[in-house]
Amino acid sequence: MSPSPNDDNSFVVPSVPEGVNVQNVEWERAVDRLHYAFQPIVNVHTGATYGYEALLRGWDDAGFSCIHELFDRAHDELILHQLDVRLRAKAVESFVKVPHHQQTRLS
């Protein structure tokens, strides 16, 4: 069975029969503890900020020893795509709070 994201992007436990939506509380808590830092991408000739790189932070607070463990475990549990979608949404939600975000890009 291949997991599919819920409408609200919550995680589904892979071993649950299709049609039964059960949120994986452990992953929900982990995602809640993850956050982003935004590293400016600056034009070296003008000093103008071109955009921002979203850097995932908080993997240690979420219970992982390194960022690779976070993604490896999501892959092993067949929820890597769902995690990716959730984290992208979280990055955008955080990015719109950056002053002057409309004039820059998110990378």
How many domains would you assign to the chain? 1
- Can you give the residue range of the structural domain that contains 75? 25-33+57-98
Helices (H), the chain: 25-33, 67-76, 80-95
Residue at 66 is within a domain: yes
Residue at 14 is within a domain: no
35 token code pair: 């956050």
Q: What is the pTM of this model?
A: 0.72
> How confident is the model at residue 12, as a pLDDT?
44
Per-residue pLDDT band at 22 (split at 50, 70, 90):
very low
* 50-107 pLDDT per residue, tens: 899 999 999 999 999 999 999 999 999 889 999 999 999 999 999 999 888 888 888 8
Secondary-structure breakdown of the chain: helix, strand, coil percentages, each rounded to the nearest 5: 35, 20, 45
